[in-house]
Structure 1
Amino acid sequence: MLGPGCSKCKETYRVVERVIAENHVDVKLSKIEDIAEMMSYNIMTTPAVVVDGSVK
């Protein structure tokens, strides 16, 4: 999950957490807040969700 910590970013993180828990998916969820690292994904807005290195 890419996002600086705004309310939309926090809500997206909670939604992804809930989907993972409800579906018993074995994944590692992490949140990237570092601007330089977020820019490496060539995103224009946040929040953004990254799955296996690809922005979805």
Structure 2
Amino acid sequence: MADLGVNADLSQTVLLSLYMQDVLGFSAVQAGLSHLGEGAGATLGGMYEARLLCRFGG
């Protein structure tokens, strides 16, 4: 089931990038840079999740 979630996230990112380029008129660089917040949030969330699991179990 985890693979299904990862595939859904990746496909959403690709489709959103295409939407930004085709409909909103972003360049490829602008569309890519707009996803930096998503990547940073996922990285920080993963780090805190690991700490919380070590502390509280799960």
Q: Do Structure 1 and Structure 2 share a fold, with TM-score over 0.5?
A: no
Structure showing greater relative contact order (alpha-carbon pairs closer than 8 Å, 6 or more residues apart)? 1
Q: Comparing both structures, which one devotes a greater share of its residues to helix?
A: 2
